[in-house]
Amino acid sequence: MVERRLVTSLVIVGDEVLSGKVVEQNAAFLIKRLRELGARVREVCFVEDEIEAIAEAIARNRARADRVIVTGGIGPTHDDVTIQAAARALGVEVHEDEALLSQIAELGKAGTRRGSASVAELSQGERRLARVPRGACLEWGRAGVPWPVTRVENLWFFPGVPPLLQALFEGVVHHFSGSPPIFSEVLELDTDEATICEALDAIVAAHDQVAIGSYPRREAGAWQLKLTFESHDRAATEAALAAARNAFAAYSRGG
């Protein structure tokens, strides 16, 4: 029996992404890394900075995935409402986390803010960075990244700044590992989808353990087609590839 893959979903928050002011990078990074880890990405949801919209996206995805990664909207400004939305989706209140307050003060001592400070001296803006939904825990990653990832049940909250998100993800990557490896093969053809669709349907039916994808493109006035074959079973993947190579030998580009 094939071991079950981890099912993940991504909720990408930010008006700047949906308005085109910022080119979104986090989804592409996370999809690539999760695939490398063998995890399945069920859904990627882009949401504006609006509490009800974010809460609805979080509630929907947390019921359908093992891990939900939420990015963006966790800073101190007026449009950072992800934490409030998550609390609403979970039916809990927002509060200031004492460990985060201490870390923010410590970062000030390290020179990132204004010299030494106590928690009592933190500004309101700095205190907002310590807001989390009630019941949250902090997942501290690798050394050199002085900030944790906030987790509540199966929800994981990351900042929207790509370099910081990437560093934080690598520090908690073990929480997204453990899925069985995926074996993947590719076949390149010089043809269009309509020409081979019936034969491809037969191959798909005969190799139901393998996920087979068909991706057309047009170059230099001619159609080209990339077929992909993926499975947790290497032999099954290779068998499906062999069947396609045999069926489409007339169109093969040597893949």
Q: Over the chain (255 residues), what is each successive 10-residue block's mean pLDDT?
A: 81 96 96 95 97 98 97 94 97 95 80 62 91 96 84 97 96 94 95 97 97 95 96 95 97 72
Is CATH 3.40.50.300 correct for 183-251? no
Task: Produce one character per residue of 72-91: b if its CB has 16 or more CB atoms within 10 Å, e if not.
Answer: bbbbeeeebbbbbbbbbbbe
* Domain spans in the chain, listed from the N-terminal domain onward: 7-176, 183-251
Residue 97 pLDDT? 95
Distance CA 99, CA 94 (A): 15
Measured at the alpha carbon of residue 85, what is the angle toward residues 59 and 107, in degrees to the nearest 5?
Answer: 125
pTM equals 0.86
Residue 224 pLDDT? 96
Architecture of domain 7-176: 3-Layer(aba) Sandwich (3.40)
Residue 15 pLDDT? 95
SS3 call for 94: strand
Residue 2 pLDDT? 47
Whether the CB-CB separation of 20 and 53 falls below 8 Å is answered with no
Residue 142 pLDDT? 75
Q: For the segment 187-243, what is each residue's pLDDT rounded down to a tens digit?
A: 999 999 999 999 999 999 999 999 999 999 999 999 999 999 999 899 999 999 999
Residue 202 pLDDT? 98
